């Protein structure tokens, strides 16, 4: 019943290694773009996408958590 299971596992591992290798070499993105152009779903990236800063880089004031401490140990 599971005679070919080992073959599929090794094929999957080989494809995963090839995918990681092509991404590390920088050839994955152009290859995917060419494939998308060939099947007609490619869209040019917006120039506005490069200048977006993620919201988690916004600096905030530090929170004073000394309100839990007794009066003798609080920061003045």
Contact 31, 22 (CB under 8 A): yes
Kindly report the average pLDDT of the chain as a whole number: 80
Q: Say yes or no to pLDDT of 2 above 60.
A: no
pLDDT class for 14, splitting at 50, 70, 90?
very high
pTM of the model: 0.50
Q: Which of 35, 33, 31, 51 is nearest to 43 (CA)?
A: 33
How many CA atoms does the CB half-sphere of 28 hold within 13 Å? 11
The mean pLDDT of 8-25, rounded to a whole number, is 93
The span from the CA of 62 to the CA of 54, in Å, is 20
The mean pLDDT of 6-27, rounded to a whole number, is 92
């Amino acid at each position: 019943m599971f005679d070919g299971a080992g073959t599929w596992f090794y094929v999957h591992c080989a494809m995963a290694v090839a995918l990681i290798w092509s991404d590390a070499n920088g050839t994955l993105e152009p290859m995917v773009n060419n494939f998308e152009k060939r099947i007609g779903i490619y869209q040019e990236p917006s120039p506005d996408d490069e200048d977006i800063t993620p919201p988690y880089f916004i600096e905030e004031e530090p929170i004073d958590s000394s309100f839990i401490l007794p009066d003798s140990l609080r920061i003045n």
